[in-house]
């Protein structure tokens, strides 16, 4: 079939969950057997979110091909089990960069380079590029921001042109907000009407409206919106607040969103989407009542989205272990020798988070020492693994000032250090060790048992590495380097075999965990945490 292009726009306010709606549509279409991909356009000027502070942008997600991406790509993968790439996340900065590069090369043959047509053509090329691979029946493009923003205008103009060119092979799903005014006891449709008007002013008529709401939309409100927005009443669906984002695809299907989309694309829906595996995950989620209590030690704990993929991986692993995740954030800056026991003793397992820079690092060392000495299941991720190594060097190897050269460039024991090829890098964007690398695991190790394999591949995002020179000393002192890159021999996984479950990964296992394919390391960690909790709490 010809590739269909779905555009997902948002109106009224931000944070309505366009990413979740896009993911849910993709999930349903995939469950109907279609080949689907989702891309996100972000209207900011940064080339990618890799240089953005988590306070600005939440977690930075990493694709297999090493692109630092918007966290919505994490949702796309978790909901669809389909890998995204560099082509799935484009910013205004990248669009301008490639237009300016072409201008410098002389590709525009002396023409004046303008937003229309040059920027909009570049945007259109980025949309169609995915379709032209021939790999997809549906390309879903989520436009970041809110309709009416100055920043997203070129993207919406590109959508308008594409819709005109593609006809029935394209569709616009617009997500808006329907507020409930408690004093009047009424749902208000006016913001939705205005938002659709705004889209129409830009030449785009939405085909489907998804109304985000905290209260059920009445049939009357639905009819009113349909009438005033030129939309068929069946194509006005509600997205009501739910206890879990993973229920959204099911709620969308109950309102026939997948069928409506297919029909509007000229396809007659046949049968039902194959949602059995998804439903069995939801069944487990609903029936899990016993908690497993995991502490996440990090410095961005007050931010909801800073550790999104870790939160979701833990949630998936808890669900598959028939437990309800009780996730407690522990602010690493607040952990001291005095309060560490009080903060950590009720936990079944501890995760030490990734990160950059000195802030909060001492608290991570204190938490790790306590966890190791009390033999609590512990998973260190990236900087968390590096902290495991440093704490072990200081307190077991007796190297008092051991450190990472990231924190102390003059440390006498640089157990974590920069790779030679990183030393000359001054440009910060996209220059870390990024994306998926193969890792070979030692047979019989905890990691190998968890994965059920000795050959794995996981995604990275870091500059610093375990310093090879210290490897014999660690091995002799009981910290085993059980995972390494087969080509470079860089250490990727460490564990302390004498402990119940004490393991650190230089890579980020959380990026590859999805609803239908949870990451094995998280499954094993949560299983160990449950056993520890049963014995000790
Ligand atoms: N700051 C560390 C490094 O660059 C760890 C990065 C991370 O945790 N993602 O190596």
For 10-66, what is each residue's pLDDT tens digit?
A: 998 888 899 999 999 999 999 999 999 999 999 999 988 888 887 777 899 999 999
- pLDDT at position 501, please? 98
The pair phi, psi for residue 129, each rounded to 5°, is -55, -40
Ligand 1 contacts CB of residue 364 (under 6 A): no
Task: Tell me how far apart the alpha carbons of residues 411 and 212 are, in angstroms, rounded to a whole number.
Answer: 53
* Dihedral (CA of 20, 25, 31, 33) sign: negative
Ligand 1 contacts CB of residue 60 (under 6 A): no
Please report the atom of ligand 1 found closest to the CA of residue 464.
Answer: 10
Please report the atom of ligand 1 found closest to the CA of residue 508.
Answer: 9
Residue with tokens 């609803």: 515
Ligand 1 contacts CB of residue 222 (under 6 A): no
Summarize pLDDT for 138-160 with one digit per residue, the tens: 999 999 999 999 999 999 999 99
- pLDDT at position 47, please? 87
Task: Tell me how far apart the alpha carbons of residues 249 and 246 are, in angstroms, rounded to a whole number.
Answer: 7
- pLDDT at position 49, please? 85
Residue with tokens 């000795």: 454
Give the catalytic positions in this structure: 382, 508, 510
Q: What is the number of other CB atoms lying within 10 angstroms of the CB of residue 168?
A: 11
Give the contacts of 294 (CB within 8 A, at least 6 positions apart): 314, 318, 325, 326, 327, 328, 347, 348, 349, 350, 351, 526, 529
Contact status, residue 109 vs residue 160, Cβ threshold 8 Å: no
Strands 480-484 and 491-495: antiparallel
Residue 157, class by beta-carbon neighbours within 10 Å (0-12 exposed, 13-18 middle, 19+ buried)? Answer: buried
- pLDDT at position 415, please? 97
CA of 527 to the centre of ligand 1 (A): 27
Chain-centroid distance, C-alpha 15: 15
- pLDDT at position 470, please? 97
Rounded CA Rg of the chain: 25
Structure tokens at 264: 């509007």
Q: Is 406 left (phi over 0), alpha (psi -120 to 50) or beta?
A: alpha
Which segments in the chain show pLDDT lower than 50? none
* Dihedral (CA of 439, 457, 444, 465) sign: positive
- pLDDT at position 376, please? 98
Give the contacts of 316 (CB within 8 A, at least 6 positions apart): 78, 513, 514, 515, 518, 519, 522
Give the contacts of 432 (CB within 8 A, at least 6 positions apart): 50, 460, 461, 462, 463
Average pLDDT, the chain: 95
The β-bridge partners of 437 are 458
Contact status, residue 94 vs residue 125, Cβ threshold 8 Å: no
Ligand 1 contacts CB of residue 354 (under 6 A): yes
Please report the atom of ligand 1 found closest to the CA of residue 461.
Answer: 9
């Amino acid at each position: 079939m010809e590739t269909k292009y779905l555009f997902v726009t948002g109106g009224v306010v931000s944070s309505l969950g366009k990413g979740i709606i896009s993911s849910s549509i993709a999930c349903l279409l995939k469950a109907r057997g279609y080949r689907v991909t989702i891309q996100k356009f972000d209207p900011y000027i940064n080339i990618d979110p890799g240089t953005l502070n988590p306070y600005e942008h939440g977690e930075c997600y990493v694709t297999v091909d090493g692109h630092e991406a918007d966290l919505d790509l994490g949702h796309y993968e978790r909901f669809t089990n389909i890998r995204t790439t560099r082509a799935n996340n484009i910013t205004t900065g990248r669009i301008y960069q490639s237009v300016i590069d072409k201008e410098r090369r002389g590709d525009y043959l002396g023409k004046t380079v303008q937003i229309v047509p040059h920027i909009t053509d570049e945007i259109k090329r980025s949309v169609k590029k995915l379709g032209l691979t021939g790999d997809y029946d549906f390309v879903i493009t989520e436009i970041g921001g809110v309709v009416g923003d100055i920043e997203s205008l070129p993207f919406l103009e590109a959508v308008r042109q594409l819709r005109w060119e593609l006809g029935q092979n394209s569709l616009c799903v617009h997500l808006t907000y329907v507020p409930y005014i408690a004093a009047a006891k009424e749902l208000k449709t006016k913001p939705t009407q205005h938002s659709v008007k705004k889209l129409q002013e830009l030449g785009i008529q939405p085909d489907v409206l998804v109304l985000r709401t905290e209260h059920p939309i009445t049939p009357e409100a639905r009819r009113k919106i349909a009438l005033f927005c030129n939309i068929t009443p069946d194509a006005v669906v509600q997205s009501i607040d739910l206890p879990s984002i993973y229920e959204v695809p099911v709620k969308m299907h109950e309102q026939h969103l997948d069928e409506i989309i297919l029909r509007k694309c000229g396809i007659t829906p046949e049968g039902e989407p194959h949602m059995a595996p998804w439903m069995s995950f939801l069944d487990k989620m609903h029936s899990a009542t016993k908690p497993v209590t995991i502490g996440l030690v990090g410095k961005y704990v007050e931010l909801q989205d800073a550790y999104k993929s870790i939160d979701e991986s833990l949630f998936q692993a808890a669900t598959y272990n028939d437990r309800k995740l009780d996730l407690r954030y522990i602010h690493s800056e607040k952990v001291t020798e005095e309060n560490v026991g009080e903060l950590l003793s009720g936990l079944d397992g501890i995760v030490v988070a990734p990160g950059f820079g000195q802030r909060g690092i001492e608290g991570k060392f204190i938490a790790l020492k306590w966890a190791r000495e009390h033999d609590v299941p512990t998973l260190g991720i990236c900087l968390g693994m590096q902290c495991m190594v440093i704490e072990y060097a200081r307190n077991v190897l007796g190297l008092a000032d051991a450190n990472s050269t990231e924190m102390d460039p003059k440390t006498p024991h640089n157990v974590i250090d920069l790779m030679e090829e990183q030393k000359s890098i001054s440009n910060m964007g996209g220059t870390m060790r990024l994306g998926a690398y193969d890792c070979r695991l030692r047979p019989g190790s905890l990691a190998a048992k968890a994965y059920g394999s000795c050959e794995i591949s996981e995604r990275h995002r870091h500059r610093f590495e375990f310093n090879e020179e210290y490897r014999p000393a660690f091995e002799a002192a009981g910290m085993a380097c059980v995972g390494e890159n087969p080509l470079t021999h860089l250490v990727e996984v460490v564990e302390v075999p004498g402990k119940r479950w004490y393991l650190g990964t230089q890579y980020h296992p959380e990026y590859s965990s999805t609803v239908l394919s949870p990451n094995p390391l998280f499954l094993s960690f949560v299983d160990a945490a449950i056993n520890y909790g049963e014995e000790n709490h």
